[in-house]
Structure 1
Amino acid sequence: MKVLVPVKRVIDYNIKVRVKPDGSGPDLTSVKMSMNPFDEIAVEEAVRLKEKGVVSEIVVVSIGMPQAKDTLRTALAMGADRAILIEATTDVNQDIEPLSVAKILVHIVKDENPDLIIAGKQAIDNDANATGQMLAGLLGWGQATFASAIEIADGGALVTREIDGGLQTIRVKLPAVVTADLRLNEPRYVALPNIMKAKKKPLEERPLAALGIDIAPRLKVVRTVEPVGRSAGVRVASVDELLEKLKNEAGVL
């Protein structure tokens, strides 16, 4: 059984993001980048399935800058077998939109013929939460989003997913697309010996031009601002005054 895991290079979650002076977007100059945390969870789940003997091969793929090779090497160090990089841009400020990513992944799926795709439910830079769903739609595959547990058996995947009212367990036939939620697992620490071994694992680089896909953005960022700082609290003299402020000033009643 082959599993395909898409991974994205994003600003490290420990970094405080600052906005450019002109408000055109986040300032990415000399900012530490790393694998999207939800994608890291997806890679970990694929590796765990391989350790159980369910999965025979794990292929990770990233779409973006040449520097994404570092992200792929991290996935290889975690336990993935092969990596594919689609060089789609050299501009660190260009974020490839979910539909374009899904269309590119369709080509990869046709070449690799995986039995299962495990992806992070969203990227922490744009929080789109759309690529997995779009990919399943383009492929005509079943999908299970926000997975907190995955079990492979009898040619299908039994997926426990988080919903507003609690947990829902569904079964999807393979091949399928599953998106990983935060509580699916805790990714392992990558040891130095595995990092060294990852350098010898195959990493294929493919130009976007060979796929013939237009990744021109359909959305335009009008303005980016930092969150407003929290203002100081006020002391009220009575419940009536509190209700009045909540209704007329805060607008929550």
Structure 2
Amino acid sequence: MMKIMVSVKRVVDYAVKIRVKPDKSGVETSNVKMSMNPFCEIALEEALRIKESGLASEVVAVSMGPAQCVDTLRTGLAMGADRAIHVESTANLYPLTVAKLLKAIVEVEKPGLLILGKQAIDDDCNQTGQMVAGLLNWPQGTFASKVVLDNEKLTATVDREVDGGIETLCLNLPAVITTDLRLNQPRYATLPNIMKAKSKVIKKFTPEDLKVEIKSDFDVVRVNEPPKRKAGVVLSSVDELIDKLRNEARVI
């Protein structure tokens, strides 16, 4: 039966107010609450539901980054993942490097399906899933809002959200799927499962083990806070509104 691999990322918690570092080199992450990327939670939830429906035998969670990523993997194990893999690196990992590392892990684990969140809420790149599909030469279904597997035909039918509505794709397995917000509602980890997750083994790799060179494909020059919005104004008439739209905003 098929194995599913899910990539999960440790990011600044979605409820934290983001602060830019004084030197403008990035956002502040020290002494800040970190958690699993929300889209990665959706990806893991979908993998667990597929396994619970009897269409997969195992769910393997994978994360890349510093030692603290183990906490994110423990969350994944507590949600229901069977095993976890940590690629430990203190370097900044950009999408192409992550895609290369995922490709190397796929070649070791040989899953029938790779599921990722469509993007991470820290950099919003929305690139890794597409890149790893290209490197593996696997079909891809991005922005998935519904996934149906057929183990007999070895296919996955994916409804994906596009600007014009819903596009339906039929992918031959193995394939890469990236998950959108409306695919499912992730479960909460129960206390017994959290306790069990503490004793589960997390397999360690380094980029060197996987023969992947860590290098930056681009440089972050500067990170700035978005400009403050100007206060709104109350207009006395429709004519005044039309005048401002035409002459100040220049949208009509």
Query: For the residues of structure 2 that align with 1:31 and 1:42, how far apart are their CA atoms?
Result: 24
SS in structure 1 at match of 2:209 = helix
Query: Which one-letter code corresponds to 2:98 in the other structure?
Result: V
**Alpha-carbon distance, 1:248 to partner:** 3.1
Are the equivalent residues in 1 in contact too, given 2:115–2:177 (CA < 8 A)?
yes
Query: Which one-letter code corresponds to 2:84 in the other structure?
Result: A
Query: For the residues of structure 2 that align with 1:47 and 1:77, how far apart are their CA atoms?
Result: 12
Query: Which one-letter code corresponds to 2:83 in the other structure?
Result: R
Per-residue CA distance 1:84-115 (angstroms, 9 max, x = gap): 000121x6xx3x11110000111100000000
SS in structure 2 at match of 1:13 = coil
SS in structure 1 at match of 2:31 = coil
Quote the residue 2:208 is aligned against: 209
The change in CA–CA distance for 1:24 and 1:248 in structure 2 (over 3 A counts) is farther
Per-residue CA distance 1:144-188 (angstroms, 9 max, x = gap): 001111111121001111111111211100000000000110000
Quote the residue 1:64 is aligned against: 65
Per-residue CA distance 1:52-81 (angstroms, 9 max, x = gap): 111101111111111100000100111111
SS in structure 2 at match of 1:184 = coil
Query: For the residues of structure 1 that align with 2:174 and 2:63, how far apart are their CA atoms?
Result: 20
Regions of 4+ moved over 6 Å? none
Q: TM-score, normalised by structure 2?
A: 0.95
Query: For the residues of structure 2 that align with 1:251 and 1:82, how far apart are their CA atoms?
Result: 56
Q: CA RMSD in A?
A: 1.3
Quote the residue 2:103 is aligned against: 106
Query: Which one-letter code corresponds to 2:123 in the other structure?
Result: N
Does the alignment pair 1:142 with 2:139?
A: yes
Query: For the residues of structure 2 that align with 1:15 and 1:217, how far apart are their CA atoms?
Result: 27
SS in structure 2 at match of 1:30 = coil
Query: For the residues of structure 2 that align with 1:69 and 1:252, how far apart are their CA atoms?
Result: 50
**Alpha-carbon distance, 1:20 to partner:** 1.3
Q: Which moved more, 1:212-221 or 1:102-111?
A: 212-221
Query: For the residues of structure 2 that align with 1:24 and 1:252, how far apart are their CA atoms?
Result: 35
Query: Which one-letter code corresponds to 1:210 in the other structure?
Result: D
Does the alignment pair 1:156 with 2:158?
A: no
Query: For the residues of structure 2 that align with 1:29 and 1:248, how far apart are their CA atoms?
Result: 46
Does the alignment pair 1:32 with 2:33?
A: yes
Aligned residues: 249
**Alpha-carbon distance, 1:195 to partner:** 0.5
Does the alignment pair 1:123 with 2:120?
A: yes
Query: For the residues of structure 1 that align with 2:163 and 2:102, how far apart are their CA atoms?
Result: 30
SS in structure 1 at match of 2:208 = helix
Query: For the residues of structure 2 that align with 1:113 and 1:161, how far apart are their CA atoms?
Result: 25
Query: For the residues of structure 2 that align with 1:238 and 1:41, how far apart are their CA atoms?
Result: 47
Quote the residue 1:190 is aligned against: 189
Quote the residue 1:218 is aligned against: 217
Quote the residue 1:169 is aligned against: 168
SS in structure 2 at match of 1:124 = coil
**Alpha-carbon distance, 1:228 to partner:** 2.5
Query: For the residues of structure 2 that align with 1:166 and 1:106, how far apart are their CA atoms?
Result: 31
Quote the residue 2:231 is aligned against: 232
Runs of at least 5 residues in structure 2 that lack an aligned partner in the other structure: none
Query: For the residues of structure 1 that align with 2:122 and 2:110, how far apart are their CA atoms?
Result: 29
Query: Which one-letter code corresponds to 1:206 in the other structure?
Result: F
Are the equivalent residues in 2 in contact too, given 1:44–1:187 (CA < 8 A)?
yes
Query: For the residues of structure 2 that align with 1:101 and 1:219, how far apart are their CA atoms?
Result: 14
Query: For the residues of structure 1 that align with 2:216 and 2:244, how far apart are their CA atoms?
Result: 43
Are the equivalent residues in 1 in contact too, given 2:105–2:210 (CA < 8 A)?
no
The change in CA–CA distance for 1:27 and 1:47 in structure 2 (over 3 A counts) is same
Query: For the residues of structure 1 that align with 2:121 and 2:247, how far apart are their CA atoms?
Result: 35
Runs of at least 5 residues in structure 1 that lack an aligned partner in the other structure: none
Are the equivalent residues in 2 in contact too, given 1:157–1:171 (CA < 8 A)?
yes
Query: For the residues of structure 2 that align with 1:98 and 1:38, how far apart are their CA atoms?
Result: 16
Q: Which moved more, 1:139-148 or 1:225-234?
A: 225-234
Quote the residue 2:251 is aligned against: 252
